[in-house]
Each structure stands twice: as structure tokens, then as C-alpha cells.
A and B are shown apart, each in its own frame.
Chain A
Amino acid sequence: MAQMTMIQAINDAMRVELKRDEKVLVFGEDVGVNGGVFRATENLHAEFGEDRVFDTPLAESGIGGLAIGLAVQGFRPVPEIQFFGFVFEVMDSIAGQMARYHFRTGGSFEMPITIRSPFGGGVHTPEMHADSLEGLMAQTPGLKVVIPSTPYDAKGLLISAIRDNNPVVFLEHMKLYRSFREEVPEGEYTIPLGKADVKREGKDISIIAYGAMVHEALKAADELEKEGYSAEVVDLRTVSPLDIETIIASVEKTNRAIVVQEAQKQAGVAANVVAEINDRAILSLEAPVLRVAAADTVFPFSQAESVWLPNYKDIIETAKKVLTF
């Protein structure tokens, strides 16, 4: 096994799939010779050639539409959107077209497309580059939305996404790209989409999170432990469809929960998780399920970022409210 950062794990997942299946194609802006602006596709162009890994013109709507056409012909496109803030340019291709193709055609066309894109705050890049827009995707039936929090998960989930016969939006948190390394197996392995992962076992409260917030939640759990509280951390990994089973099992065990997201609070993934818990496990709850999320304002300038983004202290504060309810 090798020690890999998340970006290396992502690169490796694409390499594995490009090698395994000649229908897999990687394309987007600067992903070819340059290897991607974050180096996610580094060396893939040299290894697999211009037909398999290529630069597109600077036009996201075109990238999305191209992926759809290729999918119709049986390819497995893995397009990159250079920053997820530019998803608005390709919103129709994603939410209006590929998400609905299978439904509209009564199942006669599949859309095995994996849209990869970096997103997320905490790296001193402002709005349109740092926004968490997964909520827009998660509200679109027909899409799967995956957000890994570790290198190991990233590789296994990306391989599954590429093999999935549905369009998958695979969001890569920029702060996690190089923040740590861990053991990642060589070659292929998969982690099922739609399955959450209990990243830390606990019995007093469930902290449900995804993406970079998983690490804040783990830090909060360590601190809470010092004060005698045992927190369980559930990493959603796929925010749509949700792994209701794992969420409910955790809440039924701890009887208390909070949900953490980096995105603005309004109409988000966390709100959805709270609603699902209320729908299914209200009688198990000892306290209301609270949320930790960013303010309902536009992603701020760098100096405000550390205050604006939710962090482990916010999680501890909210967890204590629930624990002492």
C-alpha cells in the first residue's frame, strides 16, 4: 500500500479506470498536458494519450453536452469542471439534461457520467471558487452526489462513481486535497455509493457530517471526550441519495444528533437529514436535532473565512446544547 494525499488518490482512481475500461474518457479545461490546475489529472495525458485524456475549449456547457453525447454512444465520460462555482455555466447539461435522460426515455438511455469538481472553503479563495453548492445538486432527482473526506474513500468512491450507470457529481474539497496522507491500496477497490461511514463510534450523540466538516467533527469528538461525552461521527460520503439506514441506526443508538455542513444553512443537505431523522426516529430522540452550518450570506472575503466557516468549536457548542437539553 502507498501513502497518498486525496488528490493522489483521485488521480490514481482515474488511472485505474482508464486502464481497466477503454470507454472511460477524461476531459475538461487544462486537464491534458497541464495535468489540471490542481494536478488531479497529472500524467494521465502522457500515459493514455490525447484520445482518452484531453483539453476542451473553455466552455462548460459544451463540456456537459459533450459528455451526454458520448454517454449515448456507450462511453464513460469523466469531465472536470475546473471549479464548482462554474457549475452555473453547465447547470442545464447536468440538472436539466443528464439527470433526466434515463427517466425521460423510460430507461432506454443511460448516463454513466462522473462530473468531478473542486469546491470548498478554507483555502483563502473567495466566492465562486469556494462555494459549497452541493445542495443545488442534491435537490435534483437522477443525480448522485458524492463528497469524500479521506484519500481512501476518495479513491474507492471515485471508482464506483465511474462504474455507476447514473450521472454522479463528485465533489472534491480543496482543503482536503493535500491536507494529509493515508494508506491507500494500489489497484482497484470500490466503496459503494449511497453508503455512509461511521468514522468514530460513540454512544452519547451522533455528529453527522460530510466533506471537510468530518474532520472538524472528529476534532470536536476528541474534545468532547475529554469532557466525558462519547460522540459518534457519521460521514455521509454520499449526500444524495442519503444513507438513511446508517443515519437512523446511529441516532437510535445515541438518541441525540447534530448535523454539520459547510454550506449556508438555508435549504441545505443538513436540513434534509434533520427532516429524515424527525420523520423516522423522533421517538428515539432525547433532544431536538440541531444544525451547524454557515450563515445565509455569500461566501466571504479571506479575513472572515475562519469565522464564517463552521469549525469544531461551533460543533462542540451545538453538541453541548443537545447533550444538556
Chain B
Amino acid sequence: MVENRHQALGLSDETVLEMYETMLLARRLDERMWLLNRSGKVPFVISGQGQEGAQIGAAFALNREKDYILPYYRDMGVVLAFGMTAKELMLSAFAKAEDPNSGGKQMPSHFGQKKNRIVTGSSPVTTQVPHAVGIALAAKMEKKDFVSFVTFGEGSSNQGDFHEGANFAGVHKLPVIFMCENNKYAISVPVTKQLACERVSDRAIGYGMPGITVDGNDPLEVYRVVKEAHDRAIRGEGPTLIEAVTYRLTAHSSDDDDRAYRDQEEVMTAKEQDPLYTFGSYLKEVAVLTDEIEKSLNDKVMKLVNEATDYAENAPYAKPEDALKYVYKE
């Protein structure tokens, strides 16, 4: 029998099953979106496949009642954990009027939903980082006990916005967690051409905060380090930079063909570390996930995916004249 790692972290069997279920839902939704894209029904897909372990491990370590999150486009797992529903995500994929993220005004996966404290982001990468820092400064000034959690890719950690945001957060010891999902590529450009330091987390030293690299395919390890970062933030000890090392199992997006720049052997090898698969195996080994539970979770998730697809497909688009609204606060 393998060692029970989740109990040691204070995670109940129910909680780890919920984590697994959320990962499964993220994966199946994502897969469905690709099918819909390839059949011409949704315009664009940008995937979190392969990164769900990091996303779910992190999201479950946060306070999902209080914390503010500023996810990036691959974070379907994070936003599901923070209360966005499968139906809402499908509405976004179809760019329908009812999509709470932006009613089709932005590309899919530009997440934002005020009621769940999911702060809207936009297409230029890394712009969310200093926003997260501003939110954290507000928490500090107003002595509120929430943490601001922001994610981005390793390529994006080269933008000035990352460095400027991290620097301010370090100087002012703000309650913010920076989590880089290092999936080894920025579209076609490998991480070796993006940064000269060995790890993204090495960048933390320049901003006076701890930098931690963690196996992003292991949701429990990610949970552990994000929980520690959260505790530090709440204690007033300042920000943390976490690098979750993962892999992008799909092409960059539905518009990209990764065969032009990436060895498909490498992708096959990475699939052996697929967090959905490895976490599922762990849960079976510790006898939390039985065949019976697995089947019922699968059925439940597929039902959600199917219902979400049907609903979103039949939902109305925004009216063209709606495009003229909201430019100014009237």
C-alpha cells in the first residue's frame, strides 16, 4: 500500500475526491470544446489539459469563500473550483450572450465573474499580475483577510508587468501568491529560449520573496506549497512566487499546429505524467477511488458536460446592438 499523503496534509477523503472530480470535469469540458471546435461550432479553444493538477491543487489550498483570483486562460480548473459552472464555461466557449465572463466580447477562457471574485483578465498576457498586486495592497490597507492569487505562463514571466508587480508586492509585503504554470512552451518557443535562469522561481530572489518550484503534475504537492504561501500571506509575511512545472498536452490553441516545433515523442512521454491519470492512480492505491465511485463520477461529469453543451448551443447570441453598450458608465 502506498502512503496516504492527503491525510498528512489535512485533506479528507471527500475533499480529495472533490479535487479529482473537478479535474475530471475540467478535462472533459476541455475535450468537448475541442470536438465542438473541430466540428465548427465554437470559434476557438485554448486548453488547460495537463495543467489541471497544478490548478486544482492550488485552488483547493485557497480560501474559496474569500480570496480573489486572477487566473489566466488555461485555468479552467481554477475557475471551476471557485464556482464557475460547466454551463457558464460552455456559454463562454460558444460566445453566447449569457456568458458571465464577457458575453462573447472576449475570446473564450478570458475568465471573469465578479460574484465568485474571479477578476477579469484580457488578451495581453501578464497584465493581470499588477492588478493582483493592487488587490493585495487594498487587502493590506483595509486589513481584510483575503489573499490575491494570480497565475501566468513561464513565457509571460518575461513581461515587465510580472517584474513590476512582483517588485511592488515584495517591497510592501503584500498578501499575494504568484503562481507560474510552467508548461515548457510559450506557443512554439521552448522555456530554454525564454529564460536564462534554471527555474522561474529563481526570479523571486530579486523581489525579496520566497520562490518555490513544485511538481505541477502533483496536486497534493501544489496544495502543500500554496497552502504555506497562503498562511504566510495571511500572517502578513508577504508574497510568494510558486512555479508549478507541468506540460501543455495540447497544441497552444485550436489555431496552432504544434507538430511544426515540438517532437510528438515528447508529448507522448509527457502523457505518462498526466495529472488526471497519476492522481486517479494515487486515489485508487489509497482505496479512496473505487471502480464504483469512478464510474459514478464519470457519469456525473459527462452528464454535466452534455447538459452544458446542449444549453449553451441553444442559448441566444448577444444582439448586434448590444455591442454598443457599456463603453462608458452611463
Q: Which of A29, A34, A59, A124 contacts B160 (CB 8 A)?
A: A59
Taking CB atoms, residues of chain A closer than 8 Å to B160 are: 59, 61, 89
CB-based contact A126/B188 at 8 Å: no
* Interface residue? B70 (CB, 8 A): no
Complex partner residue of A125 from B107, B124, B194, CB under 8 angstroms: B107
Contacting pair B189 A301 (CB below 8 A): no
Q: Smallest Cβ distance from B37 to chain A, in angstroms?
A: 12
Judge whether B261 and A34 touch: CB under 8 Å: yes
Determine chain A's interface SS by DSSP, over half rule. loop
A30→B188 contact, CB < 8 A: yes
What is the bound-complex CA distance between A30 and B324, given in angstroms?
35
Residues of A within 8 A of B107 (CB): 125-126, 129
Within the assembled complex, what's the spacing in Å between the Cα atoms of A303 and B106? 12
Residue of A nearest to B191 (CB): A57
Chain B residues, Cβ within 8 Å of A89: 124, 159-160
Judge if B155 is at the interface, Cβ distance under 8 Å: yes
Instruction: Given A127-B105, A302-B43, decide whether A86 and B320 contact each other with a Cβ distance below 8 A.
Output: no
Q: Which residues of A contact B195 (CB under 8 A)?
A: 57
Q: Indicate if the CB atoms of A29 and B106 lie closer than 8 Å.
A: no
For this complex, 7 residue pairs linking A to B, each with C-beta atoms less than 8 Å apart, are: A32-B188, A34-B261, A37-B255, A125-B107, A126-B104, A127-B123, A128-B106
Cα of A307 to Cα of B158 in the assembled complex, Å: 38
Interface flag for A35 (CB, 8 Å): yes
B329 near A: Cβ within 8 Å?
A: no
- Write the nearest CB–CB distance from B6 to chain A, whole angstroms: 36
CB within 8 Å of A: which of B114-128?
A: 122-125
Chain A 41-60 interface 0/1 with B at a Cβ cutoff of 8 Å (1 = within)? 00000000000000101111
Interchain CB contact (< 8 A) of B124 among A29, A86, A298, A303: A86
Asked if B143 lies at the interface with its beta carbon under 8 angstroms from chain A, I say: no
Q: Which residues of B contact A (CB under 8 A)?
A: 43-44, 95, 103-107, 122-125, 153, 155-156, 158-160, 186-189, 193-195, 255-256, 260-261, 317-318, 320-324, 327
Q: A308 vs B189: C-alpha distance in the bound complex, in angstroms?
A: 36
Contact A59 B43 (CB under 8 A): no
Q: Are B189 and A29 in contact (CB under 8 A)?
A: yes
Closest partner residue, chain A, to B124 (CB atom): A86
> How far is B105's CA from A86's CA once the two chains are assembled, in angstroms?
17
The reply on A241 being an interface residue by CB < 8 A is no
Q: Are B159 and A297 touching (Cβ within 8 A)? A: no
In the complex, what residue of chain A is closest to B316 when comparing beta carbons? Answer: A303
CB distance from A43 to the nearest CB of B (A): 11
A296 to B261 CA separation, bound complex (whole angstroms): 41
Q: Counting CB contacts under 8 A, is A1 at the interface?
A: no
Q: A85 contacts the other chain (Cβ, under 8 Å)? A: yes
B320 partner, pick from A29, A34, A61, A307, beta carbons under 8 A? A307
How many chain-A residues does the 8 Å CB contact rule pick out? 36
Q: How far is the CA of A308 from the CA of B261 in the complex (A)?
A: 37
Contact A33:B159 (CB < 8 A) given known A58-B194, A128-B123, A301-B103: no
A304 at the interface (CB under 8 A from B): yes
Residue A249, interface by CB 8 Å: no
Residue of chain A at shortest CB distance from B188: A34
A-B contact count (CB 8 A): 104
Most buried by B among A57, A83, A296, A300: A57
- A244-B327 Cα distance, complex, nearest whole Å: 34
Q: Let me know if A58 and B189 touch, CB within 8 A.
A: yes
User: Cβ of A86: which chain B residues have Cβ within 8 Å of it?
Assistant: 123-124
Known: A58-B194, A301-B104. A29 touches B187 (CB 8 A): yes
Contact with B along A66-103 (1 / 0, CB 8 A): 00000000000000000101101100000000000000
The contact of A29 among B105, B186, B260, B323, by CB within 8 Å, is B186
What is the CA–CA distance of A307 and B320 in the complex, to the nearest angstrom? 7
Pairwise interchain contact B187-A30, C-beta atoms closer than 8 A: yes
Docked-complex contact B327 and A57, CB < 8 angstroms? no
Query: Once the chains bind, are A57 and B124 in contact (CB under 8 Å)?
Result: no
A304 engages B318 (CB within 8 Å): yes
Decide if A58 touches B159 in the complex (CB within 8 Å): yes
Asked if A62 is at the interface of the complex by the 8 Å CB criterion, the answer is: yes
Nearest CB of A to B323, in Å? 3
A275 on interface, CB distance cutoff 8 Å: no
> How far does the alpha carbon of A85 sit from the alpha carbon of B186 in the complex, in Å?
18
Query: Least Cβ distance of A263 to chain B in Å?
Result: 15
Judging by beta carbons under 8 Å apart, are A34 and B158 in contact?
no
- CB interface residues, A 296-325, toward B, < 8 Å: 296-298, 300-304, 307-308
| Contact between chains at B322 and A304 (CB < 8 Å) | yes
B226 → chain A closest CB, angstroms = 24
Q: How far is it, in angstroms, between the C-alpha of A124 and the C-alpha of B320 when the chains are bound?
A: 14
Q: Does A295 contact B (CB under 8 A)?
A: yes
Q: Is the CB of B327 within 8 A of A298?
A: yes
- Decide if B123 touches A55 in the complex (CB within 8 Å): no
| Binary CB contact string for chain A from 123 to 135 against chain B (1 if under 8 A, 0 otherwise) | 0111111000000
A33 touches B260 (CB 8 A): yes
How many Å lie between the Cα of A295 and that of B327 in the bound state? 11
